[in-house]
Amino acid sequence: MADQLKIGIVGAAGRMGRMLLQAVAENENCVLGGASEANGSPHIGMDAGLLVGNRESGVLINGDAAAMFAGVDAVIDFTVPAATAAHAKLAADTGCALIAGTTGLEEVHRAALEQAAKCVPVVWASNMSSGVNLMFAITERVARALGSDFDIEIVEMHHKHKVDAPSGTALSLGEAAARGRDVDFDSVKAGPREGITGARERGKIGFAALRGGDVVGEHSVIFAGMGERIELTHRATDRGIFARGAVRAARWTEGRKPGFYAMADVLGLDE
């Protein structure tokens, strides 16, 4: 189909990369236009379709990300912060939309995305799940309605191989709660608790991170008041939800003006 969006995947042979390859293959409104891996990867030269157990796609995994960016309409990136920052420049240089689900970004990495967004559409989200992004919106509204009379605690659990804590999604939930209260997130974020910590400080947003087994991702926002408690919870049981959300975001960028967008924009949650 002539109107299919051509999508490229960086880090195509990784766990999320393979999920993304499958999500693109299952979506009739887009087509795989390219797939890349870091130089030295044993998967370079393999057909991307065969890599995920499908028929041959005709797209071979290569080590030249720049060439791939130049040949597609949008690239999806779930790699690591330094690579995502480099890919943002490639996107700007080639006029290709970028959808980034990389977590653990520092200010320098986010600045690279924002710079690219002056030239092309950039969608970044700590979590590409539609359900989680709805939870961001609900968390903000609940925090605004309840105010500081309710203490906020955010609890997350992931598989034992996850290296960052709290998760990017947990931090985004905290940011949503802070927006709801119209306060600066960094000033109300509470660090890990251990030992004799004293009484809980009013207005703080606390975090707890659990790790174990093969848990895909679970997040709860607890609003604890006097005599009542409200809990919002999202449980992911299939990592494919993140890939499908990213493909949805890639399709949404078609025809969009340059800008730094969030999944809330993709889902129309701010309309």
Domain ranges of the chain: 5-124+239-267, 130-236
- Using CA of residue 200, residue 223, residue 127, residue 85, what is the dihedral sign? negative
Q: State pLDDT tens for residues 81-117.
A: 999 999 999 999 999 999 999 988 999 999 999 999 9
Say which CATH architecture domain 130-236 belongs to: 2-Layer Sandwich (3.30)
Q: State pLDDT tens for residues 21-43.
A: 999 999 999 999 999 999 889 99
What does pTM read for this prediction?
0.81
In whole angstroms, how large is the CA radius of gyration of the chain?
A: 20
CA distance 188 to 206: 9
Contact 209, 167 (CB under 8 A): yes
Confidence tier at 254 by pLDDT (50, 70, 90): very high
- The residue with greater pLDDT, 3 or 205, is 205
- Nearest in space to 202 (alpha carbons), one of 222, 186, 182, 188: 188
Is the model's pLDDT at 2 over the cut of 70? no
Is the model's pLDDT at 162 over the cut of 70? yes
For a pLDDT cut of 90, what percent of the chain falls above it? 90
Q: Is domain 5-124+239-267 annotated with CATH 3.40.800.10?
A: no
Confidence tier at 1 by pLDDT (50, 70, 90): very low
pLDDT at res. 271:
59
The catalytic site residues sit at 158, 162
- Using CA of residue 95, residue 169, residue 219, residue 229, what is the dihedral sign? negative
Residue 38 gets the label, from left (phi > 0), alpha (psi -120 to 50) or beta, of beta
